[in-house]
Each structure stands twice: as structure tokens, then as C-alpha cells.
A = this chain, B = another copy of it.
Amino acid sequence: MKKHNFYAGPSILPEYTIKNTAEAVMNFAGTGLSVMEISHRSKEFVAVMDEAISLVNELLDLPAGYKVIFVGGGASTQFCMAPFNLLKTKAAYLNTGAWASKAQKEAKLFGEVVEVASSKDKNYTYIPKNFEVPADADYLHITSNNTIYGTEIKTDLDLGVRLVADMSSDIFSRPIDVSKYDIIYAGAQKNLAPSGVTIAIVNENALGQVERAIPTMLDYRTHIEKESMFNTPPVLPVFAALQTLQWLKAQGGVAEMQKKNIEKASLLYDEIDSNKFFKATVEAEEDRSLMNICFVMNDEYTELEKDFMELATSKGCVGIKGHRSVGGFRASTYNALPKESVEVLVAAMKEFAAKH
């Protein structure tokens, strides 16, 4: 039976990426060697890295002065890397969830941290609005999409302060105005590649302004200068990322992705809102994530949760269990998830309603 992959991350990748990667594991670029056992300095892999960097530039329409790097260590390493490189005296953090909160905690090792707002009071089910950012903050850190809670900042904030954004779970899901950001970083394992590689987009002009010594591997300039080849990069994850970037371009780029993502999310939110057995955990439409759609059984039907999980599973849906801190269900509808998978889940919800 076909599986419908709703995992929150690592998560569904295009068939194009999977097929090409499987082939390259056996024979990479006609070398007769696996992509897992070839030097990162071979001309075949240098071409992969170059094209991947070039496609990120093209797909996100990077302004001059912005550089793309591929590094290891996950977005969690970026939590300390961003303040290591940018925090002079004071940084502002918007607390929209567990990961945002972890990022904020790391920044405190480097200077004063102002939490401009938090939605912790309601288990992070909304995005705070109308908060003030200190005019002297070096940057405002945001987590654009909160995978656990299903909230998303779907526009580029314009608050008169430079932005640093963790876009791990919504990068490449919509066009962004990169010029508003000093750093955008993303663990690749949602919309791009298998886990093991992190992408960072860095405004070069923002670097070199802190006094502290920065360990070489945590200095963005190291990786920019060596074009992500200072040390051995995660070769296979970068190869897989390139496949997805090629696929994204062939699909029409991030504007087309946004259109499809809105379509998929609307389909599911509409069913959640109209089906009396379910309710969304995020109420405000503007805060609802297009990537992670969280819903629970409506109050009088909580005892039916297991039944619905069984029904959805019987239809081939996997990875729809909600995070333990939210409960219920979470359907992740990343770029690579076909509309058909959402339709299967919606049909299961309708069947469930008809049955009960």
C-alpha cells in the first residue's frame, strides 16, 4: 500500500530526490563509485556543491552581499553560532515555541537578551503581535515556523530591526525578502534533504563586528571563504539537497510551492473546521502553519482519538501523531507532499465522521 508521509521531520522528499540519491549511492555521476565514497574535492562533487549554492541563490533571489553555506551540526548549532557572530551587546528574541526558547537560551551566553514577546501562556498556539523591539537590539531572532505547535510567521517582519530567522521547517515554501534578514538558517530535513546538513544564508556585511574570538568552525566567514569546503562537508546530504533544489526549480520555484502549499493546507484546515469530531489547535487563520497542521479530537470525542489514528493508518497515513506537548494529530504538509496525500487524510476524516 502507498504510504502518505506526514512526518514532521525528517520528512517527505520528492521521489526525484530519492530515486537519484539511491542511484548515486550505487554509482555517482558515472564515476563507478558511490557518492558516499568519493572525495569532496573530486570535480564531480565540487560541481554538485557549486550548483546547489547557485540554485539557492536563484530560487530565493538573494540580493548582492548574501552568501549561502552548507554546514553540519543542525539548526541547534546555529542557536549559538548566530549570537557568536552577531551579538555585540543586546539581542531580541521572539518566543514562539520550544525551539525558539532553546535559541534564546543559547544567546544568553553572549550578551543581554530581551524576550520581546512570548506565546507560552497559551502553549504557543498563536504568534504574538504588536510587541516592541528595543531600538538598540543587534537583531531580532524569530522562528518562522513552529513545527511542534503548528504556527507560522508567513510574512517577512518589518520592525525596523535586522532579522535572524530559524526557517528550518518552512524554507523554500514561499518567496522571502532576504534583504530583511542578516541570517537565515535551516536544518535541511524538512523541505530540502535528509538530516545532516544545515543551510545558512548570511549577509556578509553583518559579520566581523563582534569583539570576541570565534572558534573557526563557528565563524560564518570560515565557511563563506572556503565555499563550504573548509572541512569535509556532508557529501550525500548536499547531493540530495541539490536534487530537491533542481526539483523545486522544475516545479516552478518557491512562488509555485507557496500556491500549492496554500491549496493543500486549506483543504485540510477546511475539513478540520467543518468536521464536528475535530478542532484545530491554532485558531487564528493568519497564525496557522502551512507546513504543520495540528488538530485534536473535539472535546466530547476525545476518547475516539485512537480510533481515528487506526483508520488513518489503515489508509496508509504515517507520522500523524501530534507532538507529546500538544497531543492529537499533526499532519506535516511540506513541499514534497502531494495533494493526493492530503485528500486521503481528508477522506479518512469524512469517513470517520460518517461512521460515528
The listed residue (B10, B22, B26, B34) touching A39 by CB distance below 8 A is B10
In the assembly, what is the distance between CA of A25 and CA of B189, in Å?
A: 14
Interface residues of A in 27-41 (CB under 8 A from B): 31-40
- CB neighbours (8 Å) of A42 from chain B are 7
- Please tell me if the beta carbons of A237 and B234 are within 8 angstroms of each other in the complex: yes
- Please tell me if the beta carbons of A79 and B235 are within 8 angstroms of each other in the complex: no
The listed residue (B13, B34, B234) touching A36 by CB distance below 8 A is B13
- Please tell me if the beta carbons of A37 and B25 are within 8 angstroms of each other in the complex: no
- CB neighbours (8 Å) of A84 from chain B are 215
Which of A86-94, A135-143, A192-200, A245-253 lies at the interface?
A192-200
- Please tell me if the beta carbons of A105 and B216 are within 8 angstroms of each other in the complex: yes
* A62 part of interface (Cβ distance < 8 Å): no
- CB neighbours (8 Å) of A36 from chain B are 10, 13, 17-18, 21, 193-194, 240
- CB neighbours (8 Å) of A218 from chain B are 80
- Please tell me if the beta carbons of B3 and A75 are within 8 angstroms of each other in the complex: no
Least CB distance, A325 to chain B, in whole angstroms:
13
Interface residues of A in 212-266 (CB under 8 A from B): 213, 215-218, 230-237, 240
In the assembly, what is the distance between CA of A1 and CA of B11, in Å?
A: 37
In the assembly, what is the distance between CA of A198 and CA of B42, in Å?
A: 21
Q: Is the interface of A mostly helix, strand, loop or mixed?
A: loop
- CB neighbours (8 Å) of A22 from chain B are 22, 25-26
* A166 part of interface (Cβ distance < 8 Å): no
In the assembly, what is the distance between CA of A3 and CA of B32, in Å?
A: 7
- CB neighbours (8 Å) of A73 from chain B are 71-73, 77, 217
Least CB distance, A64 to chain B, in whole angstroms:
29
- Please tell me if the beta carbons of A109 and B213 are within 8 angstroms of each other in the complex: yes
* A144 part of interface (Cβ distance < 8 Å): no
In the assembly, what is the distance between CA of A39 and CA of B319, in Å?
A: 8
* A106 part of interface (Cβ distance < 8 Å): yes
- Closest B-chain residue to A194, C-beta based? B36
In the assembly, what is the distance between CA of A235 and CA of B189, in Å?
A: 10
- Please tell me if the beta carbons of A106 and B72 are within 8 angstroms of each other in the complex: no
* A187 part of interface (Cβ distance < 8 Å): yes
- Closest B-chain residue to A109, C-beta based? B213
A contact residues vs B (CB 8 Å cutoff) = 1-3, 5, 7-13, 17-19, 21-22, 25-26, 31-40, 42, 71-77, 79-80, 84, 102, 105-106, 109, 187, 189, 193-198, 213, 215-218, 230-237, 240, 318-319
Closest 6 CB pairs of A and B: A196-B234, A36-B194, A80-B215, A73-B73, A72-B72, A76-B231
